[in-house]
Amino acid sequence: LGSRGVKSTDAEGFTRYLRLSAGEVLAQVSHPLYRSTTQKIRSGVGGDSVTLEARLMPNFGYLSATAKDGVEGVVYLGNDRELGALPLKRVKLVAGRHELRFQPRDTERYAPYEQVVTVGIKDEVRVEAPLAPRLGEVVIESKPLGGEVWVAGERWGRTPLKRSVIRGT
């Protein structure tokens, strides 16, 4: 509508054009994160009121995510909206800035991870979340010293032995 008539916008975001000349005008509604829409409206003589309702379609980008070392987990948008389980493939997100939280299924052994991403229109953002292992320490001693230590088929060395391991059993 441009600058034709007198424009006023109320607290709810409704815009009114007063003293618009009678006839057909082209109304365009746009927002940086949405697809613009254009509609013809016809205003009559004598103060007729015409309501234009425009539903803007968001412009989307995509998010794909994996966890380092294949750790299982869930991806959240902010702290509440679940986007899905890892690996996440081409989930549609409105273009813009988003806070992501990667929550491992095994919270005893792995720490959650947070990251802010910016999704562009029609772009795909790929994230590899480094769900870091929570480490503990194992100390093994024996009498006599020099005992050979094997864990789950892997030779760790001889006692006394001190080693960092992922927490858990």
Looking at per-residue pLDDT, the higher value among 50 and 57 belongs to 57
**pLDDT tens by residue, 87-103:** 999 999 988 899 999 99
Rounded Cα–Cα distance for residues 37 and 47 (Å): 25
Mean pLDDT of 15-23: 69
pLDDT for the residue numbered 98: 95
The pTM is what?
0.60
